[in-house]
Structures are given as C-alpha cells and as structure tokens.
Amino acid sequence: METAMSKAVITITDAEFETEVLKAEQPVLVYFWASWCGPCQLMSPLINSAATKYSDRLKVVKMEIDPNPLTVKQYQVEGVPALRLFQGQEVLISTEGVIGKDKLLELLDTHLNNN
C-alpha cells in the first residue's frame, strides 16, 4: 500500500547523494534548484506532480545548489532549474532551464517505459 511519504520529493545534500541516488534500486530524478531562482518556483509543482505520477517506478529528490557544491560541480550543473535522471551511476537525462510539463513527462516516459 502506498503512503503519502512514498510520493514525496526528498531533499538531499552532497553527503546523501551517493546513497540516495547512485545506489538507489530504481531510477532517480534529481532536481537542482536555488532559493533565489524565480524559474525554480515555476518548476517545483511540476516536480511534485512527477513524483506522484511516477511514484511506483521513480524516486524524485531535490538538491539546493548553493549548500551542495560537490554534486553540482561533479554533474556540471551550470544553471537552475536543472534536472538529471540517474539509473545507477549513469545520467540518462540532463536538462537545464525551465521545461514544460509535457516535455518532462515525455522525457520520463521515454526512459521509464524501457525498464
């Protein structure tokens, strides 16, 4: 039975990245954002809705860029909002800037339906 918790977007830090993302059993969508980023405010509801829609086959985490420079540098996040879809150590999707709901769902459907 699903709980509301399983659909929540989890906030992580550099220290948790390996465990929460790279060692996760299912694909993980990482949403990079910043408190000062206006476009990030537009993307947040979309990320939450993706977490709910794909809760059975996708883990969604968010990471604020300013307090987490190691991961930001490692995955070359140059602008926010940014998304990275991981399957294990591999990055399947990499986007920067605001994308619409249709585009996000299309990207996720493409990768998640192949599993």
41 among known catalytic residues:
no
Please state whether the peptide bond connecting residue 67 to the residue before it is cis, i.e. omega within 30 degrees of 0. no
| Options 37, 58, 65, 92, the catalytic residue | 37
98-107 residue pLDDT tens: 999 999 999 9
Mean pLDDT taken over the chain:
91
| Options 40, 46, 47, 85, the catalytic residue | 40
Quote the pLDDT of residue 113: 80
Contact 81, 97 (CB under 8 A): yes
88 among known catalytic residues:
no
Percent of the chain scored above 70 by pLDDT? 92
21-65 residue pLDDT tens: 999 999 999 999 999 999 999 999 999 999 999 999 999 999 999
